[in-house]
Each structure stands twice: as C-alpha cells, then as structure tokens.
Amino acid sequence: MKITLIQPDIVWENKLKNLENLGVLVSSIPSESEIVVLPEMFNTGFSMDPEKLFEAPRSLTFDWMISMSERGGYGICGSYITKEDNHFYNRWIFVSPSGEFWQYDKRHLFSPGGEDRLFTPGNRRIVFKFREINICPNICYDLRFPVWSRIRNDYDLLINSANWPESRREVWLILLKARAIENVCYVAGANRIGTDGEGHKHCGDSMIISHRGEVIASGPQNKECYVSGEISITDLSKFRARFPVLNDSDKFTLDL
C-alpha cells in the first residue's frame, strides 16, 4: 500500500485558503496513493481560538474531505476543530471513498500551550480497518505517551497528524522511530512547515517509518511537499512471525 503525507505551510486561521492550497498539493500526489495523511488542525493551524474556528460535525471541512476522497479514490485523514454537545474537540477524521468514516478525539491535550483549558480530551483509543490495514490514530502530543498507543496485537499502522515545532525537532524524529520499534508496526507522521500565528516555527520532517525503525520516506525541512512510501503487511506479518516480541508484552489496562 502506498501512503502519502502532505506537508503544507498552513495559513493561520484561514480555512478556505488552506483547503484550496491542500487541494492543489493533493492533486499532484501519485495516483496509486491509498491513504493521504494531513497534519493536525490542517485547516487553521494550531489555534487556541476554538470559539471562532470550530465546525459542527460533518460540515465544511468534512465535506471537503469526502469530496477529495471520492475524487481520488483514497482514504484521507487529519484533525481539525469541532464542537459537539457544547464541547470543543481536536478531532481526527478518516474518510473513505465510499463515505465511511472514523473519528478520534485527541487524548493528550498540549497543556503547555493551553489546549487543555479550551478543549475536551478524548477518552477512546480507536483501531479500524481500511483496505486490510489496521490503523491506530494519534494527534501530535499523543506521540509522547507510549502507553496510549501501545499495541495489543490489534494494528499495523500508527498515524500521527502533527503541528510539531522546529524547536523540538529531534524529539519528533526519535519518538516516531521509538513508536515503530516498540510496537513492531509502521508509523506515518505528517507535520507542517512555516511559522504559525503565535510565532512558532515548524520544519516538516514528515516521514514513514518501518517496523524495523528504518525511514521509508521523509520530507525535506522547510519545504511544502508531499511524501510517499510503500508499506507491506506481508513483510510486517513475516517479521512479526520471525521475531514475536509482541507475545512478551506486559498486560495492562488504562485508567481513563
């Protein structure tokens, strides 16, 4: 399966401009792409003004994702600000060409940036299947908390949609590999470039990592682009059979 990550320069709090720009970027990706991954808050940037920027479930941005998925024949995913039952969520959505969709609300809200004061944390880890690939989603800061994404012999691909700052670039690079190695899975991390409205710089480094911790594909720093790479569930299954480290994992439960 070919996965394509989109690494955009997000225009601060300008939905229409961002969706237009993303549409152009996505239109140039390889035609055989089956999953397209967008960054965190891809339509606004990592803004702490949810009252101004929220959308109701299945409205403007959701409809755009559905349209892109239907047109391109791929699944497309990323997070944006939604409001439901009077709560704001940093919600990750995956939509398929058939109109089927899955959603995940960010569990670990970025308290140093005040996200925890404005948004409601998710309370459900999800795993779903798309074209025989079992997928577990993360959003940005979730990457720092390995217990949340710890595999339970239930997924093949961990996707992280991020607005990860350049100042902590090395952490991003290390944690993507760590999650792949410890869970014996593929990891796909999509990050933005450019400077946001708070003055934080982002340099991209979007990448796809193998279950061996090897970089399959990576984006250049500070360049708007797409990044594509192939993953193989056959190779993953053979590796897990030869090196069944997951059978020795500790059993645990999450206290939510």
The per-residue pLDDT for range 9-60, each reduced to its tens digit, is 999 999 999 999 999 999 999 999 999 999 999 999 999 999 999 999 999 9
| pLDDT above 90 as % of the chain | 97
- The CATH number that applies at residue 57 is 3.60.110.10
Q: What pTM, to 2 d.p., does this model score?
A: 0.98
CA 57 to chain centre: 19
Count of domains forming the chain: 1
- Note whether residue 253 is domain-resident: no
Is 185 an annotated catalytic residue? no
Average pLDDT, the chain: 97
Closest by CA to 72, choosing from 101, 40, 95, 52, is 95
- Note whether residue 9 is domain-resident: yes
Is 40 an annotated catalytic residue? yes
- CA-CA distance, 202 to 194, in Å (whole number)? 5
- Note whether residue 222 is domain-resident: yes
- CA-CA distance, 245 to 13, in Å (whole number)? 44
Query: Is the pLDDT score of 95 beyond 90?
Result: yes
**Selected catalytic residue, list 106, 115, 136, 177:** 106
Q: Which domain holds residue 115?
A: 2-246
**Selected catalytic residue, list 140, 177, 185, 203:** 140
Note the pLDDT of residue 256: 77
Please write the tens of the pLDDT for every residue from 125-166: 999 999 999 999 999 999 999 999 999 999 999 999 999 999
Is 32 an annotated catalytic residue? no
- Note whether residue 179 is domain-resident: yes
**Selected catalytic residue, list 15, 34, 40, 177:** 40
Query: Is the pLDDT score of 251 beyond 90?
Result: no
- CA-CA distance, 113 to 3, in Å (whole number)? 30
> What is the residue-wise DSSP string for the chain?
-EEEEEE-BPPTT-HHHHHHHHHHHHHTS-TTEEEEE--TTTTT-S-S-HHHH-B-TTSHHHHHHHHHHHHHTSEEEEEEEEEETTEEEEEEEEE-TTS-EEEEE-SS--GGGTHHHHSPPP-----EEETTEEEEEEEGGGGG-HHHH---S--SEEEEE----GGGHHHHHHHHHHHHHHHTSEEEEE--EEE-TTS-EEEB--EEE-TTS-EEEEPPBT--EEEEEE--HHHHHHHHHHS-GGGGPPP-----
Query: Is the pLDDT score of 108 beyond 80?
Result: yes
- Note whether residue 94 is domain-resident: yes
> What value does the mean pLDDT take over residues 177-191?
98
